[in-house]
Amino acid sequence: MHIGKAIRLERIFNRNTGKTIIVPMDHGVTVGPIAGLEKMRDTVTNLVAGGANAGLVHKGQVKLGHRMQGRDFGCIVHLSAGTCLSPFPNVKRLVTTVEEAIRLGADGVSVHVNLGDETEGQMLSDLGSVAASASEWGIPLLAMVYARGPKVEDEYDPEVVAHCARVGAELGADVVKVNYTGDAETFAHVVDCACVPVVIAGGAKLDSTRDFLDMVRVSIDAGGAGLSVGRNVFQHADPTRLVEVLNRIVHQGMDVDSAIEGYEDIL
């Protein structure tokens, strides 16, 4: 591996465990300034205090979240965008470049692809182009790959999710982010098929913190490399303490019952 890419990956992944807690905060473009993202610097401060490994943001948020003090925090700049207001909300277009992300101080970049959409071809082309640039510059690439389109009956189907993961890996991603399939056996199949580290998405805000923690634990047991989860983290009543519990699960290998000892109030 390019030494620059290896060094940058260690700013996103815990070098001792090979796993990561990434918190995406790119929702302002997709759905607007939702709860938890009103004051970016405060949000980042809370996540860093809990021990999150990295945040994922659009280019304009890099300066908004820069704290100029405290512990370092990996920065992944998201290169693609689309909004829920569009008549084609599954379409994601590149809105910046690898080179601009590097100028902003990024440790990694990310691209979103929705397989099954009518514009899938353009999104795949964008992923391939970004992968080439990321390889040239030695910067890690995370591919968020989901199945969303008229032919997709169930985007959580294990074979569909495995296809998503494999597309990201085959087109050059260093890490793929996909939906969790619901159980250890099927998610282990996804991980085995990917050939690169796989992190789970969080999706919509869950009603139960315990359900979220159980999902993370099972995904790790199945071979997952951690999580890239936004709303279920930054919209929690106490994101700092939640991330502390996630650290116990992801990096210390605790089961959920052990991890929440002393943290029962976050459930």
| 263 annotated active-site | no
Strand partners, 75: 55
Alpha-carbon distance values, 262 to 175, 251, 266 (Å): 33, 18, 10
d(CA 251, CA 112): 26
Alpha-carbon distance values, 152 to 118, 155, 160, 164 (Å): 12, 6, 9, 12
Catalytic member of 5, 146, 151, 156: 146
| 177 annotated active-site | yes
Catalytic member of 5, 177, 205, 263: 177
d(CA 30, CA 105): 23
d(CA 253, CA 249): 5
Which residues are designated catalytic?
A: 146, 177
